[in-house]
Amino acid sequence: MRLIYGILTAMLLVAASAPAQNEKSHTLVYQSYRQGVEEQDTTYTIINQWGNKTAIADKPANVNKTIPGLAKAVMYINYDSMQGFSQLQYDGNENYYAKFALSNKNITFSEGETEKVLGYNCKKYHTSINSNSIDIWVTTDLGFSATPMAQFATLQGVLVKYVRNGSSVMEIKSISRNKKPTTIIPADLGTEKTSRELDNIRRNKMIITYKVFDNDRIHWGADTKWNTDMPLDSVIHFAGGTLILKYINIDKLPQHYQVFAELHTHSEGDAYDRTGSIFVIPTNYERSFYDALTKGISSVPGFKSKTGEEYRGMTIENNYLPVMELVRFFTPFGVRHFNDRVQIDGLEWANEAYYKQEITDIFPSMNGRVLIGAFIGNYDGGGHKVSLDIKAYPGDYEWNIEDEDTKDWILPIFNTCNVMEMAGQNYPRFFDTDSLTVTVVIPEGVEDLKLRYIATGHGGWGGGDEFNPKENKIIIDGQTVFTHTPWRSDCGTFRNLNPVSGNFWNGVSSSDYSRSGWCPGTATQPVYFDLSYLPAGTHTITIAIPQGKAEGGSFSAWSVSGVLIGKIKATSKNSTFYEHY
């Protein structure tokens, strides 16, 4: 049975005075499992008892190497004073603990008839905890008290069996006599914390965090003119200062980790809602987008629209991959910097914009030395500040990479979000006369193939595509197979992020307006299209959008990004970023 909270959760039940040497000592073994499930990871609970003291440790079966940051958690309970101590033990004698009082004031037990369970004469108790139906059987036949769950320590005797919602079971499997009982409670419990602080320590140490940007400024006027290889862990500005890059090292993680990008932004002087993007620059091809930043946009491949405009660095070519977008986000109107400009009854302005988006499906491509970028389009000297963490949350106790029989096949194929717009990369306004077409090669053995697609429309006037829904067509090998209309009608929800959004005569704010796939202060959600039916081989993927015509000096544009994601046998020679040609 997979548990959520740790691999070694130990509870020690102790009395204030030391037990006499002639008191008996026992080891109790409990088994946890789910009824009706044939194959499962069983958890065993080992209880060492001496007089009125017990030491309890939960240990999942078949775990060889555990995940980093996992604590040995211990609970000490004094039955005489009804006081307990929760302790976390880490390597290097790094220990923390919190006090708590034993009480059943929040749990009401109803006592049933005496029953024979697993050979013991037991009293049956019933209760409900957080809408879970709990049945417990306790025996006094053994002459001492022991329970693997502190909330049931007020019930005198030994907990024989526990059943939650009729399916999750914990029950005694064996009891044996010990010859040499030992001291259980340590003299030093470590650093005292509150129960909440202790729980935060336990969780946070299991989360693997890669800190990418830390309150770094994105603003006009900070271009460093970098033209050599970047060192690790250094933040470098490009494109006039509106794009920052950093190389970090990322370890390969087991597949059970769930990965999120966590982004914090606030204004340092720019008052407007700006397009932002968090992305990875693939560097395992002959050319990469890093060449465009260091050598100029003309150094990467591109295409010409029917009007003769060049669009470089946006599509996959035979020796080039476009940037792989992790998060598309939009800054709010001036949050923090302009919070004192306008006051509206009933609204309290936020201090920052916060975005948290899952990137588990494309994270496997981020192994080793990874070049991560952040872009916010603006010409303001103050600009914005950003902090970005990549956080991986475990879904299991075991650290197991070698035995995985499949790996991820991930291929970025287009990205028209012009993250280098302040250094010559054109706005993606070609959809009024052209579609976007790429050619891809799907290798043998790829399964569960899908397209991760992000699309936002721009053109900030009444007739612009920002405020008018437009159908996106996904065309595979000449056939329209999917349609999608990016649109958000919940933008008014985020009014407290937009202190200098325009307020109109009728009470509506400009940040309230519905938009083509985005709202000021939010991240755009990717959509997924099933391509599992496609056979291996060469295919064309086309994006067609009825972009509106320009009016005067105003024009519409569409920022779309696409990544192919699938699974492939681990024995395959194909790399995570497939060698395309």
Dump pLDDT digits (tens) for 525-558: 999 999 999 999 999 999 999 999 999 999 999 9
pLDDT tens for each residue of 269-302: 999 999 999 999 999 888 999 999 999 999 999 9
Closest to 11 (Cα-Cα) out of 66, 57, 52? 57
Contacts of 93 (CB under 8 A, 6+ apart): none
> Hey, what are 508's tokens?
């509506």
pLDDT of 359 > 60? The answer is yes
Given a contact cutoff of 8 angstroms between Cβ atoms, the answer to whether 41 and 31 are in contact is: no
pLDDT computed for residue 17 by the predictor: 35
pLDDT tens for each residue of 461-473: 999 999 999 999 9
Exposure string of 493-503, with b = 16+ CB inside 10 Å and e = fewer, is: ebbbbbbbbeb
Number of C-beta neighbours around residue 319 at 10 A: 12
pLDDT tens for each residue of 402-422: 767 788 999 999 999 999 999
Give the pLDDT band (50/70/90) at residue 574. low
What distances in angstroms separate CA 567 from CA 274, 324, 407, 532, one per listed residue?
35, 18, 6, 10
Which residues are bridge partners to 177 per DSSP?
Answer: 26
pLDDT of 20 > 70? The answer is no
CATH number of 8-202: 2.50.20
- In 3-state terms, what secondary structure has residue 299? helix
The domain made up of 207-569 has a fold known as Jelly Rolls (2.60.120)
pLDDT computed for residue 440 by the predictor: 97
pLDDT of 432 > 90? The answer is yes
What does the domain layout of the chain look like in residue ranges? 8-202, 207-569
Contacts of 204 (CB under 8 A, 6+ apart): none
Kind plus residue range of the DSSP H or E element containing 389: strand 384-393
pLDDT computed for residue 504 by the predictor: 81
Q: What is the mean pLDDT of residues 452-456?
A: 98
Q: What percent of the chain has pLDDT over 90?
A: 70
Give the pLDDT band (50/70/90) at residue 103. confident
pLDDT computed for residue 454 by the predictor: 98
Q: What percent of the chain has pLDDT over 70?
A: 92
pLDDT computed for residue 9 by the predictor: 37
pLDDT of 456 > 80? The answer is yes
Q: Phi and psi (nearest 5°) for 240?
A: 70, 10
Please check whether the two domains, 8-202 and 207-569, share a CATH topology: no
Number of C-beta neighbours around residue 580 at 10 A: 17
pLDDT of 45 > 50? The answer is yes
Give the pLDDT band (50/70/90) at residue 100. confident
Average pLDDT over the chain, rounded to an integer:
89
